Amino acid sequence: MNFREEYRKKLTKPEDAVSIIKSGDNVNFGPFACAPIFLDQHLAQRAGELENVTIQSITFPAVCRSVLADPERKSFIFRSSHFSKADRILHDRGLCDYIPNLFHEGPSYFNNGYIRPDVSIVRAAPMDKWGFFNIGIGNSVIPASLEQTKRVIIEVNENIPYCYGGFKESIHISRVDHIVESDNAPIIELPRDELSERHRTIAAYIIDEIVDGACLQLGIGALPNAVGELIAHSDLKDLGVQTEMLCDAYFEMFERGKITGAKKTFDPGKMSYTFALGSRKLYDFLDHNQHCASFPVDYINSLKNISANDNVISINNAIEIDLYGQVSAESSGFRHISGTGGQLDFVYGAYHSRGGKSFICLSSTYTDREGKVRSRITPTLEPGTIVTVHRAMVHYVVTEYGKAMLKGKSTRERAEELIRIAHPDFREELIREAERMNLWTRTAGIA
């Protein structure tokens, strides 16, 4: 087959590509760095012309122009199964709906027909000589969505790295209906959170629990990155990687020789991931790098596959935890902030790994919009707050005041452990509330 000739036949102007979308269609946008930002701008020009078009995405990396062009939601209904900062802004304005999900189940929603796209639009790397467009940087649910969609539009961007698999990290031109050459805008780069002494203190507690040959999963944010930074300068060696998100911390650990994957029992030698977000350095590191392997999310986040490696270490952020041990990492009261993502997948999978441990990390306090300092460890979750991790699944909780291991502990012991690692200014108040909740007696004390 002459792939270049087929490419020319399918090459389409952007306005013609989005013209195939009809009123009532379900349109699936590629997730993360594979989000079709260029074609979204062209679809926005059809606001007022189309009616009741559902647009679905995961962590759209910019404010969706189609949504902004239709504030009354007559043309476009935007939904996301994990919020970016831009999605959160739209949700606050009533312009974005959240889809509750477990990340490892994402492909099954397409395969079982719960989500059935009429059109899928995905940003990808330029076609290779064998007719493949690489989508490894955003893999996750893309393969399942493309298998179930009626028509496929590829938005080509020369800045997308060519990421090896794994499997299902590419789509062949024979499965593509339209190809659009974009403006080749740079891929979104995540700003590096400034690490505080508090972050480094929390990270140090976790480092003490990591052994040579451990397999790492780091969530997004300053705390997991602080752990990566400390590991990069530690004596640990032969670490492995199986993570949903590949971020700069892994690149830095690899550069310093900490990551070899030699002790992995599952996909040995590979840094396995399902999507990548970070700096340009990270994207350049991924390009044609045989050390890295991109897989769909139902493979990476599979509970069976996570636990197949020994000594899995899962490190994730949280917004709030109550004295029962219920963790919220996605909302604060009625304000939705993020999503379940794969946190629950790795909390559960890591615990069932031989020697594995999962850590929920949070600073002991935060300052609210009125400038008042509040505790992140609370008697009960604020009304409306979503539970991300069930209390029975939580393993370790870490603040700058220590780490609490909750497995096998009674509700009373859990409350004692969590109060022990709360900020000292809030401990007496938490004790009073724990007494009221029948979770504390004055004879208990704090170790």
Q: Which residues are catalytic?
A: 244
Question: CA-based angle 441:446:447, to the nearest 5?
Answer: 140
Q: Which amino acid is residue 121, in one-letter code?
A: I
The 3-state DSSP class for residue 202 equals helix
Question: CA-based angle 24:152:160, to the nearest 5?
Answer: 125
Place of tokens 């030699």: 262
Smallest CA-to-CA distance from 384 within 422, 437, 416, 336 is with 336
Tokens of 401: 């005041």
Residue 175 backbone phi and psi in degrees, to 5: -100, 5
| 128, 91 Cβ separation under 8 angstroms | no
Query: What is the residue-wise DSSP string for 399-433?
Result: ETTEEEE-TT--HHHHHHHHHHTS-HHHHHHHHHH
Question: CA-based angle 175:177:178, to the nearest 5?
Answer: 130
Enumerate the β-bridge partners of residue 357. 313
CA 34 from centre of chain = 14
CA 435 from centre of chain = 37
**Exposed, middle or buried by CB within 10 Å (0-12, 13-18, 19+), for 203?**
buried
CB neighbourhood size of 315 (10 A): 31
The alpha-helical segments, DSSP class H, found in 80-165 are: 85-92, 106-111, 142-148
